[in-house]
Amino acid sequence: MKKLINAAAEVVPEALRGMAAAHPELRVDVDNRVVVRGDAPVRGKVGLVSGGGSGHEPMHAGFVGPGMLDAACAGEVFTSPVPDQVVAATTAVDGGAGVLHIVKNYTGDVMNFEMAAELVAAESGTEVNAVVVDDDVAVQDSLYTAGRRGVGATVLLEKMAGAAAEQGRPLAGVTEVARTVNARARSMGLALTSCTVPAAGKPTFDLPENEMEVGIGIHGEPGRRRVPVAPAREIAEMLVEPVLGDLDFTGGDGVLAFVNGMGGTPLIELYLMYAEVVGVLEKAGVTVARSLVGSYMTSLEMAGCSVTLVRMDDDLLRLWDAPVRTPALRWGV
């Protein structure tokens, strides 16, 4: 195992210390492993809290800041944050208008965020809503979930719900935006290589050089099938066609098309993939209204990519275009 680390057990706190040094506009609680926007709590504004296992950077801490999340909890690598972390994050961003938890559909995440919401409500009476993201069309159930996994749509949902909160919408309104994005989003991913969790010291799974895993999860969970390595044009069809088959994306105000790198894929390949994805969408009569290309929800150094589509409307387009200022995503400021 070759990694830029000191000790496997210290990867998460040491990375958070580095984030604190690189981004002094954030408050980083290394002990609780919580990252909070510097001006939190913002009075009268709905607070947005997300989190999950580390190893998916910049998800979630990289999306903390004006226009997106108010706080993020970092679990151990590929491990859910514990309830105490979520309680600390929720309390830190409670500006009196309630808090929305954005939770990827993994059993540990869902359970621990639910427990934290109950604890906060009992201690302070703060109203806490939750939206569970479940956009992955690859499998119905997996090693980590009951139902579909939460993957790439989480990034897009956090951005649009964050913009709604920044506008001053009430908790019910921000929650509705998040639920709308989740309902209109579908994703599918693919791995060319495995990744190595520092504590394990070896690849999570074996994937021969001439094979790829279609429908992989962000923790290395198996997907739909293992097939021979194919050209990008064929890979785009493998990823997009199941998404289009699950939800009608034609008509309306077009889609937000997101090609996401899994951590080990260079940007030149992601842009190449995006061109192929657009070609598949054009043939299917789907109009692209907005795009995002890059590695935003990774799986350590796994090579591969995922495709996420969101069916947009006027309101979602305005929310997507609204200013955002975070370490990993910023525009309009």
DSSP string, 154-175: HHHHHHHHHHHHHTT--HHHHH
pLDDT of residue 220: 75
pLDDT of residue 214: 94
Bridge partner residues of 309 (DSSP): 186, 257
Rounded to two decimals, the pTM is 0.96
Residue 68's pLDDT is 98
- Supply the pLDDT for residue 140: 67
Residue 36 scores a pLDDT above 90: yes
What is d(CA 320, CA 178) in angstroms, rounded to the nearest whole number? Answer: 12
Tens digits of residue pLDDT in 203-252: 888 889 999 999 988 887 777 889 999 999 999 999 999 999 999 999 88
Q: What are the two backbone dihedrals, phi and then psi, of residue 75, each rounded to the nearest 5 degrees? A: -80, 180
Q: What is the DSSP letter of 67?
A: T
Q: What is the mean pLDDT of the chain?
A: 95
Confidence of residue 145 (pLDDT cuts 50, 70, 90): low
Q: What are the structural domains of the chain?
A: 11-184 (3.40.50.10440), 185-324 (3.30.1180.20)
Note the Cα 85 to chain centre separation in Å: 18
Amino acid at site 4: L
pLDDT at position 333 is 80
Contacts of 326 (CB under 8 A, 6+ apart): 62, 63, 64, 65, 66, 67, 68, 69
The pair phi, psi for residue 138, each rounded to 5°, is: -65, -50
Cα 121 to Cα 19, 51, 129, 299: the distances in Å are 30, 19, 11, 33
DSSP structure class, residue 80: P
State the average pLDDT over residues 65-84: 97
Q: What does the pLDDT read at residue 52?
A: 96
Give the CA count within 13 Å in the CB-facing half-sphere of 76.
10
65 vs 176: CA distance, rounded Å: 21
DSSP string, 256-318: EEEEEE-BSS-HHHHHHHHHHHHHHHHHTTPPEEEEEEE-SS--TTB-EEEEEEEE--HHHHH
Rounded CA separation 137/258 (Å): 15
Residues identified as active-site: 56, 219
* Run of H or E residues at 47: strand 47-54
Q: Are strands 211-214 and 47-54 parallel, antiparallel or unpaired?
A: unpaired
Alpha carbon of residue 14 to chain centroid? 22
Q: Tell me the average pLDDT across 257-280.
A: 98
| CA dihedral over 114, 164, 153, 292, signed as positive or negative | negative
Of 139-148, 198-207, 282-291, highest mean pLDDT: 282-291
pLDDT at 221: 77
* Sign of the torsion angle spanned by Cα atoms 216, 217, 222, 223: negative
* Residue 64: predicted pLDDT: 98
Percent of the chain with pLDDT over 70: 98
Q: What are the structure tokens assigned to 13, written together?
A: 């706190």
The two three-digit tokens of residue 232, written as one number: 């990008």
- Does residue 191 have a pLDDT over 90? yes
With beta carbons less than 8 A apart as the criterion, state whether 310 and 156 touch: yes
Residues 181, 182, 184, 189: what is their CA dihedral angle, to the nearest 10 degrees? 120
